[in-house]
C-alpha cells in the first residue's frame, strides 16, 4: 500500500481573507453590506454576519480500490448558531474550497431565518470529483468524513443534508456512521435520508417545489401566465430537474436545459417524460435526441420568460446579466448572481427571486423531516406539500412587503427580514458568559 500527497486536493486556506468581489464569500459580504442601512439599531451586530462561528478543516484519508491511499480535504463550517443548531448540506465537488463553504453556510443562516426555521446556518463539503470514485470508495470517504466532523455535528448541534453530488444514500451512510460512533441510532443527525431510515416524503423534490412555488407567486405578481411560458434551466439535477417538471406540469415549455454534459434546446418545449429518464440513465442532458445541441454560452441568450440557474455559484456575471432575455430569474442554485449582475438585472427590470428564499423549500422539508424523526410520527406527502406551500407563500409575501416599503430588491428585502431575526436573537442572547 503506497501513500502519496496530491496537491490538487488542497485549496488555499487563506483565500477568504481578501475575497474577490465575484467570489462566493465576496458576493455574500457585499449582500450583507447592502442590508445594513435597513437594520436600524441591530446594525451594531452586523459584524457577526461577516464571520463564521466555527470552521473545521479535516483530512479524509481512504484506501482506494487499487491499494493506494488518497487524502481528500473536507470542511464543515457553522456560520451562525444564534437561532438554533446549524443546518445545511454537504457538497462533493472538485472545486470546493473553505471560502465557498463559508459562503454557502452563511446563505443557510439567512435562508433558515427567512422562512423562520429554528436553525442557524452551516454547510460542508469535500474537494473531490465523486464521479471518479467507485461506490466502495465513495462510502469509505463519506464514513471517514462523518467521523472527522463528528465532533461538531449532532441532532441538536448541526444537521447535514444533501447538496451538489450528494443524495439519500450518502445521508444513510452518514447517519449510520454517526450512530455507530455514538452508540445509538440517531436518525435526526442528517436529513434527506431514505424513507426507511426516517426520511421524509417530499424531501427529494422539495427544493424544486419551493422554486416552483416562489416562481408561481412572482409570475402572478408580474402578470406572467405560466401556461405557455418559456423556461430555461441551468442544472438538471435534484433542484433543476424537479423545478422543470413542476413548471411543465403547469403548462410551461422548458425550451432549454444546460448541465455539465451539454446544452440542449427545443423551441416547442423539451419532452420531460423522455428527458428525465434519459438524464437518470446517462447522467446528463448532453446527447438527448429530442433537442438540438447548443454551445454553452448561447444558453444565456435564449429567448425565455423565466430563467432558472440551478447549478453552481457566480454563473450570472455582469456581462451575461446584460444579455439575459427573461423577465423573471428564479435562483434555484445558491449564489448564482454576482453583485454587479444583480444591479444590471434590477436596472433592466428583470425580477430576481433570490436563492435565500427561492430555494428554501429543501431546508423547510428537512425541518419537517427532523421534527418527524424526533416525534417518530410521519406525515403524508400531501401534508408536507401543503405546509411547504404555505410557508413559502407567507415568507415571500412578507419579503415582498419589505421590498415595497423600502424600494429595495427582493434579495436585500430577504436579507432585511432574515437578519432582523438573526441579530435580534444574537442581541437577546447577550455577550457575557
Ligand X SMILES: O=C(O)CCC(=O)C(=O)O
> CA 129, CA 173: separation in Å to the nearest integer?
18
Catalytic residue chosen out of the listed positions 4, 53, 123, 205: 123
Q: Which of ligand NAI, ligand X, none does residue 81 bind (CB under 5 to 8 Å by kind)?
A: none
Q: Which of positions 322-341 make contact with ligand X (CB under 6 A)?
A: 334
> CA 203, CA 274: separation in Å to the nearest integer?
23
Q: Is 108 in the site for ligand NAI (CB under 6 A)?
A: no
Q: Is 88 in the site for ligand X (CB under 6 A)?
A: yes
Among 366, 402, 409, 412, interactor with ligand X by CB under 6 A = 366
What does the CA dihedral 330, 229, 343, 242 come to, rounded to 10 degrees?
A: 10
Q: Is 188 in the site for ligand X (CB under 6 A)?
A: no
Nearest to 362 by CA among 329, 334, 394, 328: 334
100 contact partners, CB below 8 Å, separation of at least 6: 23, 24, 25, 125, 313
Q: Which of ligand NAI, ligand X, none does residue 237 bind (CB under 5 to 8 Å by kind)?
A: ligand NAI
CB under 6 A: which stretch of 307-315, 344-352, 360-368, 380-388 binds ligand X? Answer: 360-368
> CA 327, CA 352: separation in Å to the nearest integer?
9
Q: Is 314 in the site for ligand NAI (CB under 6 A)?
A: no
Q: How many chain residues are in contact with ligand X, going by CB under 6 A?
A: 14
Among 106, 312, 418, 423, interactor with ligand NAI by CB under 6 A = 312
Q: Is the separation of the CB atoms in 112 and 119 below 8 Å?
A: yes
Q: Is 259 in the site for ligand NAI (CB under 6 A)?
A: yes
Query: Looking up cell 401534508, which residue turns up?
Result: 383
Least Å from the CB of residue 61 to ligand X: 26
Mark residues 146-185: x for contact with ligand X by CB under 6 A, - for none. ---------------x-x----------------------
Strands (E), 322-398: 328-330, 351-353
DSSP secondary-structure letter at 122? E
372 contact partners, CB below 8 Å, separation of at least 6: 198, 200, 378, 379
Q: Which residues pair with 121 in a beta bridge?
A: 80
Residue numbers annotated as active site: 123
Q: Would you list which residues are annotated within the binding site for NAD(+)? A: 207, 238
- Which positions lie near ligand X, rule CB under 6 A? 87-89, 108, 111, 161, 163, 191-192, 334, 359, 362-363, 366
Q: Would you list which residues are annotated within the binding site for substrate? A: 87, 111, 366
- Which positions lie near ligand NAI, rule CB under 6 A? 162-165, 207, 234-240, 258-260, 284, 310-312, 332-334, 359, 362
Amino acid at each position: 500500500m503506497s501513500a502519496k500527497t496530491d496537491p490538487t486536493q488542497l485549496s488555499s486556506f487563506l483565500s477568504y481573507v481578501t475575497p474577490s468581489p465575484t467570489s462566493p464569500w465576496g458576493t455574500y459580504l457585499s449582500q450583507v453590506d447592502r442590508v445594513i442601512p435597513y437594520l436600524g439599531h441591530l446594525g451594531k451586530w452586523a459584524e457577526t454576519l461577516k464571520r463564521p462561528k466555527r470552521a473545521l478543516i479535516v483530512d479524509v484519508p481512504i484506501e482506494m480500490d487499487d491499494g493506494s491511499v488518497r487524502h481528500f480535504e473536507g470542511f464543515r463550517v457553522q456560520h451562525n448558531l444564534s437561532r438554533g443548531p446549524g443546518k445545511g448540506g454537504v457538497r462533493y465537488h472538485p472545486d470546493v474550497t473553505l471560502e465557498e463553504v463559508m459562503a454557502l453556510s452563511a446563505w443557510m443562516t439567512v435562508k433558515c431565518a427567512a422562512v423562520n426555521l429554528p436553525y442557524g446556518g452551516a454547510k460542508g463539503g469535500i474537494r473531490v470529483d465523486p464521479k471518479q470514485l467507485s461506490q466502495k470508495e465513495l462510502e469509505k470517504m463519506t464514513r471517514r468524513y462523518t467521523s472527522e466532523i463528528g465532533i461538531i455535528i449532532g441532532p441538536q448541534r448541526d444537521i447535514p443534508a444533501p447538496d451538489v453530488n450528494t443524495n439519500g444514500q450518502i445521508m444513510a451512510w452518514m447517519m449510520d456512521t454517526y450512530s455507530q460512533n455514538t452508540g445509538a441510532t440517531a436518525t435526526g443527525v442528517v436529513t434527506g435520508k431514505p424513507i426507511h431510515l426516517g426520511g421524509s416524503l417530499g424531501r427529494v423534490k422539495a427544493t424544486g417545489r419551493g422554486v416552483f412555488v416562489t416562481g408561481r407567486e412572482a409570475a402572478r405578481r408580474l402578470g406572467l401566465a405560466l401556461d405557455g411560458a418559456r423556461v430555461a434551466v441551468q442544472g438538471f439535477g435534484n433542484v433543476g430537474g424537479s423545478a422543470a417538471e413542476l413548471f411543465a406540469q403547469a403548462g410551461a415549455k422548458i425550451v432549454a436545459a444546460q448541465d455539465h454534459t451539454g446544452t440542449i434546446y427545443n423551441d416547442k418545449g423539451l419532452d420531460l417524460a423522455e428527458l428525465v429518464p434519459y438524464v437518470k440513465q446517462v447522467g446528463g442532458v448532453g446527447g438527448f435526441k429530442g433537442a438540438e445541441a447548443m454551445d454553452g454560452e448561447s444558453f444565456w441568450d435564449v429567448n425565455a420568460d423565466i430563467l432558472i440557474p440551478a447549478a453552481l455559484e457566480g454563473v450570472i456575471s455582469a456581462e451575461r446579466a446584460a444579455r439575459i432575455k427573461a423577465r423573471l430569474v428564479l435562483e434555484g442554485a445558491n449564489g448564482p448572481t454576482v453583485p454587479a449582475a444583480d444591479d444590471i438585472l434590477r436596472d433592466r427590470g428583470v425580477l430576481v427571486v433570490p436563492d435565500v428564499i427561492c430555494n428554501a423549500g429543501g431546508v423547510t422539508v428537512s425541518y419537517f423531516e427532523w421534527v418527524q424523526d424526533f416525534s417518530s410520527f410521519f406525515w403524508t406527502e400531501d401534508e408536507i406539500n401543503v405546509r411547504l406551500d404555505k410557508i413559502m407563500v407567507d415568507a415571500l409575501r412578507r419579503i415582498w412587503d419589505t421590498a415595497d416599503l423600502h424600494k429595495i430588491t427582493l434579495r436585500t428585502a430577504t436579507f432585511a427580514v432574515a437578519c432582523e431575526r438573526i441579530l435580534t436573537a444574537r442581541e437577546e442572547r447577550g455577550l457575557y458568559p
